[in-house]
Amino acid sequence: MKTDKTISIPLDKFIELALYDKNFGFYMKKNPFGKRGDFITAPNITRIFSEIIAIWIITFWKSLGSPKHFNLLELGAGNGEMMKVITETLKNFPKCFNSCNFMIHEKSKFLINLQKKNLRNEKINWINNLNKINFYPTLYIANEFFDAIPIKQFFKKKEYWFERFVDLRNLKNAKFREKRTNIKNIERILKFEVSKNQSIIEYSPKTFKYLNTILKKIEKNNGGILIIDYGYLNAKMQESLQAVKNHKYSNILENIGDTDITYNISFNLFKQFADQFNNLDTIITNQKKFLTTMGILQRAEILSKNMPFSKKTDLFYRIRRLIDKKQMGELFKVMLIKNKKNMFNTGFQID
């Protein structure tokens, strides 16, 4: 990993190096998914998760008036498993399937090759620049996408704000440093007072560039973005930066390039940003409510009818991982941003 060893770099630049350096970055050189990887995402726990998402996509497509052409664009498709199941499921609904342009936006060349291998029998377009997609209504799917985008951290001490940096003069003994900053510069970019009533701010410049591009597209061309990720709803932001290696928490400053670095999303911050778009509406629930409302338990019962007891037990163990409040059920949130004129709320119905 090439760095200027004479200076410290902002935290987001450090994370960018650790995750996306073309030679040494965590996501650029290996498959981090599954039992042999560092973590397991919902589509790799059970294919029923992706089937449920596919059924939800069909209902959302219908809410748009069943357009003859629409784009389904997955942001950060991992090993391609979710997109594979979605395409297989939509084939059972030919009108929707034939109307759909399937797209993936992926930064890692390693993962693109893995996705192409997993999806070799499907018509998929890999999109590098989101600004260049066509004018059809687009549904963006972001499952554990935004948590992997590098963040900045700011801490308030008395009346001053400090930004976190990483000192890389000695890669084997990297250290955090703090530098005083003017938080108003961040607020001018976001166009709202993010520091109000906060003592900690976790903020990803790239995330809000993505959101700005996507939400402008939704306003202009219709569609929506479905965000599924771990995070919290509290207005008060918290420090949540963490590293994971071999399914266990790790030291962020150790094993650089061999450890995943992630954080819990402030969905309230996402909503504040989206609220600046006058024609858009935001609705949110947790993963347990979304999946159970969409019928995941009923689907599991149907599939398990003729299964041996051991396989049935395994299936419901996997389902429980997705919806149990002590596992992914409440930690993971599901957010939909769409046009206000579209009254669609499937999966988000209020109790």
Nearest to 30 by CA among 142, 146, 108: 108
- Domain spans in the chain, listed from the N-terminal domain onward: 8-339
The mean per-residue pLDDT over the stretch 180-190 comes to: 90
What would the pLDDT profile of 223-272 be if each residue is shown by its tens digit?
999 999 999 999 999 999 998 877 677 888 888 888 889 999 999 999 99
Q: Give exposure, 151-181, as e/b (b: 16+ Cβ within 10 Å).
A: bbbbbeeeeebbbbbbbbeeeeebeeeeeeb
Q: What is the pLDDT of residue 29?
A: 66
Report the percentage of the chain scoring pLDDT > 70.
94
Q: What is the pLDDT of residue 349?
A: 79
Both structure tokens of 209:
């560039």
What would the pLDDT profile of 70-125 be if each residue is shown by its tens digit?
999 999 999 999 999 999 999 999 999 999 999 999 988 889 999 999 999 889 99
Three-state DSSP at 187 gives: helix
Q: Which of 152-161, 234-243, 305-314 has the lowest mean pLDDT?
A: 305-314
Q: Does domain 8-339 have CATH number 3.40.50.12710?
A: yes
Q: Using alpha carbons only, how large is the chain's radius of gyration in Å?
A: 21
- Give the model's confidence band at 351: pLDDT under 50 very low, under 70 low, under 90 confident, else very high: low
Beta strands of the chain (E only): which ranges? 8-10, 70-75, 100-105, 124-126, 138-143, 152-157, 160-167, 175-181, 200-203, 223-232, 242-245, 248-250, 260-262, 265-266, 280-286, 332-339
What would the pLDDT profile of 3-15 be if each residue is shown by its tens digit?
554 578 999 999 9
Q: What is the pLDDT of residue 350?
A: 65
Q: What is the pLDDT of residue 41?
A: 84
Nearest to 289 by CA among 327, 332, 318: 332
Q: What is the pLDDT of residue 251?
A: 86
Both structure tokens of 146:
């935004």
Nearest to 211 by CA among 142, 260, 120, 158: 142
Report the percentage of the chain scoring pLDDT > 90.
70
Nearest to 117 by CA among 76, 79, 73: 79
What would the pLDDT profile of 16-48 be if each residue is shown by its tens digit?
988 888 888 887 765 555 454 445 788 889 999
Mean pLDDT of the chain: 90
Q: What is the pLDDT of residue 248?
A: 74
∠ Cα 269 271 276 (to 5°): 105
Q: What is the pLDDT of residue 321?
A: 93
Q: What is the pLDDT of residue 30?
A: 59
Q: What is the pLDDT of residue 216?
A: 97
Beta partners for 134?
none
Number of H helices, E strands in the chain: 13, 16
Q: Which of 85-89, 207-211, 308-312 has the lowest mean pLDDT?
A: 308-312
In a 10 Å sphere around its CB, with 0-12 CB exposed, 13-18 middle and 19+ buried, how is residue 128 labelled? exposed
Q: What is the pLDDT of residue 326?
A: 84
Length of the chain: 351
> Would you report the helix, strand and coil content of the chain in percent, each value rounded to 5?
40, 25, 35
Q: How far is CA 324 from CA 206, 240, 243, 279, 285, in A?
A: 32, 21, 23, 35, 14
